[in-house]
């Protein structure tokens, strides 16, 4: 892993001064416009290089530069052609701007600003569109990435992602404005920072559009100015990040709508000047489906399965989850989560736990049956886990897991926990996809800077679900939500049928749907061809089987295009198709050259980024003699790992060497890094007090009961009943974390054939000061 010297450490000017971002959220699609203000304060022309993270599934659709009053809009070209044009322009003294996607990971872009004259300003604007991911609490998550931690590149691999890493606050600021409009109601804005009271205003002359339903809630992990509702019915809202924000953390916003789970369709008109028959000429529809499974099916969660937990134990997992009060180390939070998972598994399933870093190890040679003995042995080893395994090599443990035989009637469920910083992302995703038929993959990105491309990609290719644990988030609720998904019976035989008016045909652009979860969104992009001979409505029907029961979800939609969508649906559809073609190319499919040509053609037509194209802009009016090579300035990005545990930058650098550089010939670096790690731990915050919920859960047996114990009271039934009453009476706000623990306990009590439990429940309520009914306990 190459990490360049720090510009700020050398006291050299950083040409990037500020970033201004405007976000327009329309239902669950965000259009993001970022303007980067560059100033050359030096006496010679320079070239500024900036490696910047973007959301993994973003479709970059505009790139331009403004020098003075002159604006130059970039074109999308074949990447090699664009690079040659950039080099030629810069060498001849012309100002040039190049934006290209990393070959290693689709969530990292390289921005080159060439031949910026002494004393000159340049404003570079990047616009992209992205879907907002649905969270466990039904909010929609928008993330503006700021942190780009070093990406671990395995030995023998090609050069990885090279970025300038800042050890302190980055020397540029961020301003952010978000405008939300939706046909669904918005309710509130929440943040882990103090917010002023919300302001509700009637529409004024600045608002140009009227929508029919309110907006309900926005959340952020940063300090925001008050939320301003522009319509009294809450159909639109505007919020701004408080001034002076240093861009040293990912900015997350959570949008809450009422009636989130209503299926919907957006039909977007094409461009009349585009080539006939092309994607950009025809209308495109985006279908959002939220399958609802029958209640009787959902009550009978699976009691079988093979659960494989894969835990990142690289050195970077020794960082703090966040910098606030009560923060845990990432590895400690992962250990607490494993405790909950192990206590929540159904008796009779199979399980195993892997730890990985530069190498990997497993608790058992192969997955073992879940019982009291195997659970006890696993918990003992969980307590001993440390973040002491070096780099982040996730490919080899996955290869080993996939080589293990599957157990009949026990579908494999893979849970992967990582801070997600690898340089071979696409190779990992291809491996997961090649084994999608044999497992479901649930992935968890831990901490700032986790690679969204890796985390979301593994879940997508493994037909699972992705979660991000950042800032002050607790890991346990999100993981237990994913466990509920994993315990849902697998949906099979999924098909999509269309009914359209005569004269209209459909070309589906999205890959076939391979997974459906209760209440989770499934997206379909499709191109509508031809013209209707009279009908104005279409129907899409999704059919599937669940536990041998045939089910159908249907949506009727209007074929009339939605107004003012700005081609965002076309660009997201093009991005979806390009990603599918990229994977087809990497798989070695026949006709690779044809696939590549199709990608470049689609990228140029739609004006969106791809791995084979780049945005290039040249100011042909500028030309000056450049003597000698241009000054080169790399713009630093923030590295959360360097600030995790240590006040000393030098000590953290040693830790980084231990984590990222696995090709050191001697052990000296490792010894120094271990010493630095020890120093950091001595300066780390004191360990937070034990969570009483986890203390109680740790005493539960694999069967679901609590045994006679000096810390409880006599009698296993009585002890288990008291534990249940305490959970429902005192920890109801954390029910998502202990729901499976409680289900096992109630099931165990039911199997004991105890007489009248009502009096026991009353006595337990008196003892614990609760008011829980027998029905609430489910016994």
Give the span between the Cα atoms of 53 and 350, in whole angstroms.
38
The answer to whether the beta carbons of residues 644 and 95 sit under 8 Å apart is no
* Mean pLDDT score across all residues of the chain: 79
* The pLDDT of residue 3: 34
* The pLDDT of residue 431: 93
Residue of 169 and 212 predicted with greater confidence: 169
* Residue 640 confidence class, pLDDT cut points 50, 70, 90: low
Comparing 233-237, 272-276, 398-402, 449-453, the range with the smallest average pLDDT is: 233-237
Residue of 195 and 585 predicted with greater confidence: 585
Rounded mean pLDDT, 155-181: 69
* The pLDDT of residue 219: 61
* The pLDDT of residue 748: 87
Question: 654: which 2 tokens?
Answer: 């040693």
Nearest by Cα to 252 from 241, 237, 238: 241
Q: Pairing between strand 236-240 and 173-181?
A: antiparallel
pTM of the model: 0.79
* The pLDDT of residue 379: 94
Q: Would the CATH topology of 8-261+609-619 be identical to that of 301-487?
A: no
* Residue 229 confidence class, pLDDT cut points 50, 70, 90: low
pLDDT per residue as tens digits for the range 703-721: 888 876 544 444 788 888 8
Rounded mean pLDDT, 303-326: 83
* The pLDDT of residue 328: 78
Domain residue spans in the chain? 8-261+609-619, 264-297+491-605, 301-487, 645-683, 692-777
Question: 618: which 2 tokens?
Answer: 């040249």
* The pLDDT of residue 656: 36
Nearest by Cα to 501 from 527, 526, 528, 537: 537
Give the Å distances, CA to CA, from 684 to 114, 312, 687: 43, 21, 9
The answer to whether the beta carbons of residues 469 and 415 sit under 8 Å apart is no
Give the Å distances, CA to CA, from 743 to 347, 737, 746: 12, 12, 5
DSSP secondary-structure letter at 641? G
Give the span between the Cα atoms of 524 and 543, in whole angstroms.
14
* Residue 295 confidence class, pLDDT cut points 50, 70, 90: confident
Question: 685: which 2 tokens?
Answer: 């915050």
Assess whether pLDDT exceeds 80 at residue 617: yes
Assess whether pLDDT exceeds 60 at residue 231: no
pLDDT per residue as tens digits for the range 335-382: 888 998 999 998 889 999 999 998 999 999 999 999 999 999 999 999
In the chain, what percentage of residues exceed pLDDT 70? 78
Report the CATH number of the 301-487 domain.
3.40.50.410
pLDDT per residue as tens digits for the range 652-663: 333 333 333 333
* The pLDDT of residue 226: 57
Give the span between the Cα atoms of 659 and 422, in whole angstroms.
12
Assess whether pLDDT exceeds 90 at residue 304: no
Dihedral angle at the C-alpha atoms of 56, 58, 60, 66, nearest 10 degrees? Answer: -90
Nearest by Cα to 486 from 305, 340, 295, 338: 305
Topology of the domain covering 8-261+609-619: Immunoglobulin-like (2.60.40)
Nearest by Cα to 259 from 219, 209, 213, 200: 213
CATH 2.60.40 fits 264-297+491-605, yes or no: yes
In the chain, what percentage of residues exceed pLDDT 90? 29
* Residue 675 confidence class, pLDDT cut points 50, 70, 90: very low
Give the span between the Cα atoms of 546 and 31, in whole angstroms.
36
Assess whether pLDDT exceeds 70 at residue 98: yes
The answer to whether the beta carbons of residues 492 and 545 sit under 8 Å apart is yes
The answer to whether the beta carbons of residues 77 and 603 sit under 8 Å apart is no
Burial of 276 (0-12, 13-18, 19+ CB in 10 A): exposed
Burial of 442 (0-12, 13-18, 19+ CB in 10 A): buried
* The pLDDT of residue 244: 65
Give the span between the Cα atoms of 284 and 527, in whole angstroms.
5
How is the beta sheet containing 491-499 ordered, strand by strand?
491-499, 537-546, 549-558
Q: Pairing between strand 284-289 and 368-369?
A: unpaired
* The pLDDT of residue 116: 85
Rounded mean pLDDT, 567-583: 92
* The pLDDT of residue 706: 83
């Amino acid at each position: 892993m190459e990490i360049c010297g720090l510009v700020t450490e050398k006291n050299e000017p950083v040409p990037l001064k500020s970033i201004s971002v405007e976000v327009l959220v329309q239902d669950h699609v965000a259009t993001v416009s970022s303007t980067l203000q560059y100033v050359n304060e030096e006496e010679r022309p320079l070239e500024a290089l900036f490696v910047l993270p973007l959301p993994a599934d973003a479709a970059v659709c505009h790139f331009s530069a403004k020098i003075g009053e002159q604006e130059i809009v970039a074109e999308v070209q074949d990447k090699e052609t664009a690079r040659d044009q950039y080099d030629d322009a810069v060498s001849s003294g012309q100002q040039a701007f190049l934006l290209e996607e990393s070959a290693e990971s689709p969530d990292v872009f390289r921005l080159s600003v060439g031949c910026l004259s002494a004393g000159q300003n340049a404003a570079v604007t990047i616009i992209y569109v992205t879907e907002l991911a649905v969270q466990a609490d039904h909010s929609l998550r928008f993330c503006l990435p700021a942190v780009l931690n070093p990406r671990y590149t395995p030995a023998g691999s090609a050069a990885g992602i090279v970025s300038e890493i800042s050890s302190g606050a980055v020397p540029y600021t961020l301003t952010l404005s978000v405008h939300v409009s939706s046909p669904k109601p918005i309710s509130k804005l929440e943040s882990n920072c103090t917010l002023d009271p919300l302001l509700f205003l009637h529409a004024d002359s600045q608002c140009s559009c009227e929508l029919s339903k309110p907006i309900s809630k926005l959340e952020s992990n940063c300090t925001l100015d008050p939320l301003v509702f522009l319509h009294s019915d809450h159909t639109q809202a505007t919020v701004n990040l408080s001034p002076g924000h240093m861009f040293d953390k990912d900015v997350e916003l959570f949008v809450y709508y009422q009636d989130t789970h209503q299926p919907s369709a957006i039909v977007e008109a094409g461009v009349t000047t585009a080539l006939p028959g092309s994607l950009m000429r025809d209308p495109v529809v985006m279908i959002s489906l939220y399958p609802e499974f029958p209640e009787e099916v959902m009550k009978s969660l699976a009691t079988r399965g093979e659960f494989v937990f894969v835990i990142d134990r690289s050195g970077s997992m020794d960082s703090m989850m966040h910098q606030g009060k009560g923060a845990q180390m990432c590895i400690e939070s992962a250990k607490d989560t494993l405790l909950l998972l192990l206590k929540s598994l159904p008796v009779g399933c199979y399980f195993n736990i892997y730890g990985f870093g530069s190498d990997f190890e497993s608790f058992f040679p192969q997955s073992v049956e879940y019982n009291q003995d195997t659970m006890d042995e696993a918990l003992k080893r969980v307590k001993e886990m440390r973040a002491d395994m070096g780099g982040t090599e996730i490919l080899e443990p996955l290869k080993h897991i996939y080589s293990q035989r599957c157990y009949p009637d026990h579908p494999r469920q893979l849970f992967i926990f990582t801070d997600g910083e690898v340089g071979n992302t696409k190779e990992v995703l291809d491996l997961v996809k090649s084994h999608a038929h044999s497992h479901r993959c649930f992935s968890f990105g831990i901490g700032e800077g986790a690679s969204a491309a890796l985390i979301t990609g593994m879940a997508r290719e493994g037909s699972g679900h992705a979660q991000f644990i950042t800032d002050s988030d607790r890991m346990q609720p999100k993981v237990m939500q994913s466990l509920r998904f994993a315990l849902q019976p697998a949906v099979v035989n999924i098909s999509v049928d269309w009914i359209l008016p005569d004269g209209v045909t459909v070309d589906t652009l999205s890959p076939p749907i391979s997974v459906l979860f209760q209440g989770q969104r499934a997206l379909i992009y499709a191109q509508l061809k031809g013209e209707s001979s009279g009908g104005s409505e279409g129907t899409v029907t999704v059919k599937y089987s669940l536990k041998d029961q045939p089910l159908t979800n249907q949506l009727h939609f209007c074929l009339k295009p939605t107004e003012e969508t700005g081609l965002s649906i076309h660009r997201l559809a093009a991005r979806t198709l390009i990603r599918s073609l990229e994977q087809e190319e990497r798989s070695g499919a026949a006709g690779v050259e044809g696939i590549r040509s199709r990608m470049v053609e689609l990228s140029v037509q739609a004006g969106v980024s791809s791995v084979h194209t780049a945005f290039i802009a040249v100011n042909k009016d500028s030309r000056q003699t450049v003597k000698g090579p241009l000054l080169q300035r790399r713009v630093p990005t923030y590295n959360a790992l360097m600030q995790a545990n240590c006040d000393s930058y030098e000590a953290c650098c040693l830790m980084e060497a231990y984590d990222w550089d696995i090709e050191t010939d001697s052990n000296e670096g490792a010894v120094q890094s271990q010493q630095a790690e020890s120093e950091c731990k001595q300066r780390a915050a004191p360990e937070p007090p034990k969570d009483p919920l986890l203390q109680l859960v740790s005493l539960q047996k694999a069967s679901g009961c609590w045994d006679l114990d000096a810390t409880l009271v006599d009698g296993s039934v009585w002890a288990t009943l008291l534990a249940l009453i305490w959970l429902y009476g005192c920890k109801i706000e954390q029910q998502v974390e202990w729901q499976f623990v409680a289900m096992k306990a109630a099931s165990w009590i039911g199997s004991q054939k105890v007489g009248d439990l009502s009096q026991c429940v009353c006595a337990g309520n008196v003892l614990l000061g609760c008011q829980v009914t027998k029905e609430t306990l489910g016994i």
